Amino acid sequence: MADGKRIQTFEDFVEVHGLLLTASGLPQSLHRQLFLKLTSETFDGGAHFQVEPFEDGRCRRLVLSSDFMAKESHVFLVDHAWTFRLSDAYKQLLEVPGLAERMASLMCVDIDMNLDEEGEDYSKSNDDEAKQGVWELLESEVRGAKEKGNDSVRWLELEDLQINDDTLLSLDLPTKFPDLLALSLTGNKLRNVDVVAQEVAKFKHLRALWLNDNPVAENCDENLLQKVLEGSSNLEIYNSRFTLNYSKWALGFCGDVYEKDNPGSIYPADHTLQCLTRLDLSSRCIHNLINKAFSPVELPSLSYLNLRGNPLEQNSVGDLLKVLKEFPCLSSLEVDIPGPLGEKASDIIKSLPNLKTLNGIDVAKILNSGKHVIDSMLLPRLPEWAPEEPLPDRVINAMWQYLMTYRLADEEKIDETSVWYVMDELGSVLRHSDEPNFSVAPFLFMPEGNLTSAISFTLLWPIHNVQKGDECTRDYLFGIGEDKQRSARLTAWFHTPQNYFVNEYEKHIRNLRWKALASSISQTTSNTEGLHQSKGGILHVYTDNPQVEEFLNRPEFIMTSDPKEADIIWTSMQIDEETRKATGITDQQYVNQFPFEACLVMKHHLAETVEKAHGCTEWLQPTYNLETHLSQLIGDYFVRKRDGLNNLWILKPWNMARTIDTTVTDNLSSIIRLMETGPKICQKYIEHPALFNGKKFDLRYIVLVRSMKPLEIFLADSFWVRLANNPYSLEKKSLFEYETHFTVMNYRGRLNHKNIADFVKEFEQEHNVKWLDIHSTVRSMIRSVFESAAVVHPEMHSPFSRAMYGLDVMLDSSFQPKLLEVTYCPDCNRACKYDVENVLGDGEVVKGQEFYNYVFGCLFLNETTHVTPL
């Protein structure tokens, strides 16, 4: 059909949307159904699905309300409730009427979960009334025991009865209930350690005691525990935690053998645990698992064991595995990984060959997937907020659990920034499963046959048979396997095992600290022969750079439009073998780039190069390639959070300029989800930069490289400052303000040029520093950058390469330089446009129109006018 003609038939629809249909993965059998629903605007999901709240209203899930839905039998349209570019998100939430309210409701952050404590009326109830309620409960317990034929009460729950220290003493519980095995005083008003410990010590057979939610437990729990244990040698469970005295009673309690209706005897039988098959010991604070009670002799039928959340630090990995291997029926195990049994799931499986499932997952599937960290019971990462936090802030924090993304493109180009969107109230409640029963995909419907008319939807269809009442799920990481760090990326939505990531981070840091330059590189005098002398005449230059073409006017150089005739190729395009063949460029022509210079100009390679050469260095912020080191980044994030350190990070695409697709955030889910828009590094944000009149700035330096071996580099006397337009702030809302946190204003924002001489003078006055001292540390850092490349990548050397690089540098609040990035073929518009005073020398004026004459003189004629050797 002709472009721009309205779609009327199914054939028209397929012709226009063929590529989109293929990309969506929607089965061909559903294409006609999709066409009919799109053209009739049919949203019929509500007739087949039901939304159910859970977790006290903090989450929702989608269940099938129809009797049955067959695989690939239906396709549903899901509307988009909010579509935006990331830089506009906060502004839209503030300005679009009703948007923040709708999103807050959809994301379950519109209710205050931190409700005020109950009023004082109830807490001030008359003591006599409280005692009366306790007495009535005690009498009821005694009657109940007699009715069941028991000679005494052995399990007593006195919870939330406002029992204080005086009431506890007056009750004289040890006299009335001498055979008590379990006592819960949870939620009362006990305060005095000595009173509680003395009363508890009078119970000679007490096995379990709960004092949770009492002031005495909240204010001095360790002191109370010590005193209680001194007087209660038989106590096995204290506040749900195992004591060092735990034995068969505690194990029987966790295995549901002992409970209120069956508390056991003060003299337990020898074989009470023989038939126990399932034992949940999770989060019992067990330090030593190996004792007489926990053994194959006492638990011969044990088939399921949960050890999550226990330190077990008094047992070695080998001893624990040896004991577990002796249980003949143990086939299902749950344990922290990494943890007391080791760091890898595969190692645990090999040591326990009888296991069928580990952490709820079939062991064969684990071994096939190659996962080290596996879990089928990951808890969702629910958003948190302060009561006073406004709705837009809550939404910004929570939205990463719900967002999906796509990038627009046509036949000519692809959008530089991605589009993010939130599905409507039906689509947003689809939860994750590694084995989902539904699939989703974004889809652009173009009713007029062109991109201008496009309307975005999400398609939803069943990929398995679904029964009524089944939860409907999707795979949040569809198509992403362990080769792309699937387990680590699930951290965006779930609480994954922190200790695994902390271990990965600590190993990473140890490796960096062992690294150093293989050998120091001594500064050399210029050995490179000038081209003018070697060629003995005028040098022909081919360039696609308008500034070079305009301002390079020295008589030693003449422009040519034919690259084959040029002595020097100065271009912004990459010159590889394919380019050489296409243009006729030979290996004997000089080019303005070095082989393998990607080790400097691509951000992930730059960090890798510096780390290989120097390990950890003060002038490069901690940097992680998210495509390969996500686990280490997550570990770093968790360690900083644990230690109360700043956790603000900046994400930068590997190879994009002008801060395109660059984000500042302290949200871990955001960091992980932003991987979906392309390969990135994540770098620790410089949260306390040096400021100029309260605003952020960075410095652009120009480095000229004649040779990598020997290393001959020069720093241009011309450099310039780039200023943010807004006062610097760390308020969350400011993170979306480009003109607060970024300084590149050539392409967006208001360019505020500042003469470098004026800047240096005013900066020295504002901060009482000497610029020459700062410049000395910058020079040292810049040389270290190129030393790193020369040592780590000696293949960079080429006798026919000369290059100019831009280095962006920021100063921290202590005026120490931090390297931001290295740029190939930098934009030198300011250097050519403005005359600058040489603030580093005798104050001579460097003419802007002469900039490229100086550059070419240094690189090709061995001159040093207005450049300084490093």
Q: How many CB atoms lie within 10 A of CB 274?
A: 12
Residue 554: both structure tokens together: 């020295």
Q: Is the dihedral of CA 783, 784, 785, 787 positive or negative?
A: positive
Q: Among 295, 195, 299, 198, which residue's Cα sits nearest to residue 257?
A: 299
Which long-range contacts (C-beta less than 8 Å, at least 24 apart) are formed by 261-264?
263/154, 263/155, 263/181, 263/182, 264/154, 264/181, 264/207
Is cis: bond before 869, omega within 30 of 0? no
The residue-averaged pLDDT of 25-37 equals 97
From CA 80, how far away is CA 445, in angstroms rounded? 13
Look over the chain and give the mean of its residue pLDDT values, rounded to a whole number: 89
Beta bridge partners of 699: 721, 809
Grade residue 535 by pLDDT with cuts at 50, 70 and 90.
low
pLDDT on residue 130: 62
Tell me the residue type at 491.
Answer: T
User: How much is the average pLDDT of 193-216?
Assistant: 93
Supply 317's token pair: 């990995």
Which has more confidence, 836 or 149? 836
Which one-letter amino acid corresponds to residue 197? A
Q: What are the start-end ranges of the E strands in 425-483?
A: 431-432, 438-445, 455-462, 466-467, 473-474
Residue 412 has pLDDT above 80, yes or no: no
**Cβ neighbours around 348 below 10 Å, total:** 25
Locus of tokens 């949870």: 186
Rounded to the nearest 5°, which phi and psi values hold at 780? -65, -40
Q: What is the DSSP letter of 528?
A: P
- The distance between the two most distant Cα atoms of the chain, rounded to a whole number of Å, is 116
Q: 423-443: buried (b, 16+ CB within 10 Å) or exposed (e) per residue?
A: bbbbbbbbbbeeebbbbbbbb
Residue type (1 letter), 509? I
Non-local CB neighbours of 719 within 8 Å, separated by 6+ positions: 699, 700, 701, 702, 756
Would strands 49-54 and 59-64 be described as parallel, antiparallel, or unpaired?
A: antiparallel
Q: What is the CA radius of gyration of the chain?
A: 35
pLDDT at 114 over 60: no
pLDDT, position 768: 97
pLDDT digits (tens, 9 = 90+) for 214-243: 999 887 767 888 888 888 889 999 999 999
DSSP state of 687: S
CA atoms of 183 and 192, how far apart (whole Å): 18
Q: How far apart are CA 190 and CA 212, in angstroms?
A: 10
Give the pLDDT score at 516: 56
Dist CA 34 CA 117 (whole Å): 52
- Mean pLDDT, residues 689-712 taken together: 95
3-state secondary structure of 753: coil
| Cα–Cα distance measured from residue 545 to residue 570, given in angstroms and rounded to the nearest whole number | 7
Cα four-point dihedral sign 219, 225, 228, 231: negative
308 DSSP 8-state letter: T
Q: Cα–Cα distance between 420 and 671 in angstroms, integer?
A: 14
Cis peptide before 710 (omega within 30 of 0): yes
Q: Which of 30-44, 365-379, 672-686 has the lowest mean pLDDT?
A: 365-379
Q: How far is CA 725 from the centre of its chain?
A: 29
Start-to-end CA distance of the chain, whole Å, equals 64
**pLDDT, tens digit, for every residue of 380-399?**
898 888 888 999 999 999 99
3-class secondary structure, 130: helix
Residue 123: which pLDDT band, with cuts at 50, 70 and 90? Answer: very low
Nearest to 209 by CA among 226, 228, 189: 228
| Confidence at residue 724, expressed as pLDDT on a 0 to 100 scale | 92
Region 808-828: mean pLDDT is 95
Q: Which residues of 569-589 are buried (b: 16+ CB within 10 A; e: fewer)?
A: bbbeeebeeeebeebebeeeb
Q: Encode pLDDT of 165-189 as tens digits.
A: 999 999 999 999 999 999 999 999 9
In this predicted structure, what is the pLDDT of residue 17?
95
DSSP state of 776: H
User: CA dist 261 to 89, 134, 252, Å?
Assistant: 56, 20, 13
> Which amino acid makes up residue 485?
Q
> Does 101 have pLDDT greater than 90?
yes
Q: How many residues can be counted in the chain?
A: 870
**What is the rounded CA–CA span in Å between residue 676 and residue 670?**
10
Least confident window among 512-521, 708-717, 749-758, 809-818:
512-521
- In the three-class reduction of DSSP (H, G, I as helix; E, B as strand; rest coil), residue 160 is classed as coil
Closest C-alpha to 650, from 667, 671, 664: 664
For the CA atoms of 335, 341, 343, 346, the dihedral, rounded to the nearest 10 degrees, stands at: -80
How far is 485 from 634, CA to CA, in rounded Å?
Answer: 12
pLDDT surpasses 60 at 672: yes
Q: What are the counts of helices (DSSP H) followed by strands (DSSP E) for the chain?
A: 29, 41
**C-alpha distances in Å from residue 341, one per residue of 255, 293, 666, 734, 776:** 22, 20, 33, 45, 52
Looking at residue 677, its amino acid is T
Strand pairing partners for 78? 458
pLDDT confidence band for 375 (50 / 70 / 90): low
pLDDT digit string (tens) for 654-670? 987 666 789 999 999 99
Strand partners, 278: 304
- pLDDT of residue 300 exceeding 50: yes
The pLDDT score that the predictor gives to residue 113 is: 45
DSSP state of 273: T
Q: Is 308:336 a contact under the CB 8 Å cutoff?
A: yes
CA dist 309 and 348 (Å) reads 17
Maximum average pLDDT range among 90-94, 141-145, 738-742: 90-94
Whether 688 has a pLDDT exceeding 50, the answer reads yes
The b/e string for 848-869 (b: 16+ C-beta within 10 A; e otherwise) is bebbbbbbbbbbbbbbeebbeb
CB 383 within 8 A of CB 109: yes
Q: What is residue 199's predicted lDDT score, i.e. its pLDDT? A: 94
What is the per-residue DSSP string for 357-405?
A: EETTEEHHHHHHHT-SS--S-PEE------TT--HHHHHHHHGGGTEEE
Q: How far is Cα 854 from Cα 864, in angstroms, rounded to an integer?
A: 8
Which residue type, as a one-letter code, is found at position 682?
A: C
Per-residue pLDDT, averaged over 295-324, amounts to: 94
- Count CB neighbours of 137 within 10 A: 15
Confidence band, pLDDT 50/70/90 cuts, at residue 360: confident
